[in-house]
Chains A and B, each alone.
Chain A
Amino acid sequence: MNKGKKKLGLAAALLTALGLAASAAAGTSLSLVAYSTPKPVLAKIIAAFQKTPQGAGVSFTQSYGPSTNQARAVAAGQPADVLFLSTGDDIDLDVDAGLVDPNWDHQSYDGIAANTVVVFAVRDGNPKHIKGWADLIKPGVQVVTPNPFSSGSAKWNILAAYGAQRRLGKTDKQATQYVKTLFDHVVSQDTSGSNATNTFLSGKGDVLITYESEALNARLQGKNIQYVIPRQTMLIQLPVAVTKSSPNKDTANAFIRYLKSVPAQELFAQYGFRPVNPQVANEPAVKKEFPARPGIFAIDDKYIGGWRNADKVWFDPKHGRMVEIEQADGGPSSG
């Protein structure tokens, strides 16, 4: 008797929950705030989501822009239910503003929706024979990378350069020296990743340090861009999070779950992003498109120590290593 009551209660609760979910979905509008590159793939994923039972009747307000700008806009009050940004650092910015749960990375796949890696875009036929990080500091090689103080993507590039050296057995001092030398070869430090791509496509430089997803995205747009994946490179993890203040948390969470589901992950793969869902990541075609690298490392690598630490050590506007490196680059001895 008692047992039966419990079951009935559970069923009722389930039904209520389902009913709530259904009523929450119908006519709900989600504000999605994202960085620029995934715009085309998100359009596809949203359309697919709206065809699922949870997504039926959900409309989306979408906002795209440079990742850090977007995070700041949300911190300053731009309405947002779902954030999809290019660094965990930018999500942390909204954590600090009290808008995102500090445990956002305790979700499935550590709160990551898709991955990409740091790559070198090169000129047709790779005339300078760029294969690894050591080739970037050979005499006469010109490198294009955005300014790390304004662009999230440049932060990844610098940490990739440093981390790769550590993986190659260099000491902290030697690896930092490498970044310094690398910046002697940097001929343009644009304010954003897309400006840097423009600079490179205009003909400046031999190498553009960029993301695999950016390069593949440029290819999808019909631009002829070749790239090399170095053996030691950084896994760029693209985080997704729901805001604490979201009035549509259930729908927002359903959308995030959908982002990590097989159909959405397949779309990500088609648009140049590395899937996080192993079922898709292990498909032979996907494995071929996104070759594995032995020396791949992520932000929580022991040499880098997570975003909070990396930010303090490298990008603090007063004492960060990059301040000193930029200064050294500006000395009278360098070109």
Chain B
Amino acid sequence: MLSINNLHVTVGDKAIIDGLTLDVPTGEVHAVMGPNGAGKSTLAFALAGRPGYDVTAGSVTLDGEDLLALSPDERAAKGVFLSFQYPVAIPGVSALVFLRTALNAQHKACGEAEVSAPDFLRLVRARASELKMDFDMLRRGLNVDFSGGEKKRMEILQMMILSPRLAVLDETDSGLDIDALRIVAEGVNAMRAPDRTMLVITHYQRLLEYIRPDRVHVLASGRIAQSGGPELALELERAGYDRYAA
């Protein structure tokens, strides 16, 4: 279970997350929705441990283990994955090399053996084809000259290969056309598992037509303003976020 208790996060001198409490039981998919500036991406970065996102109070545990004490790479090795709203391009490192390096770094941190090159390629080929990705694209620089949709598919591919315990998807629907949205959502749905917890962060309801969350939470002014079932997303779509304005 992901357990966030009374979390306070500041960026620079600005308090963004302001006493956020949220529990996501293992195996469930929860959506966090909210207006621009509510602190959605800050929450995602704080969970992943991004430098500059300072936790000033509160706690975050995954299955009882304190995540806040860990570096970003240690959290990754514990199974925390963040799908970035704006994936970073890394010229000079192919997606394949990057992903294999990441996978083996996580295996090493867990005391497991490295994945052999043939096994790795087989795994990536299968997942890439599920996501309808051109395999040759993976030989190019990571995210270099990728379209918005290709970048998001690349994030989902990495999530599939790294097989996290906690997946945080930050605005995975932004910049996607309807076909790409469907493919990405199918990829996410395929990742639903009894031992995996997912937090889907989104501004719009449309992604939730494809990924049906167990719970929906409204994030406003740095804390959870309301929680409900999937129907809450539809209500938000209709009524907007105005009533949560500070």
Partners in one complex: no
Chain B residues within CB distance 8 Å of chain A: none
Chain A residues within CB distance 8 Å of chain B: none
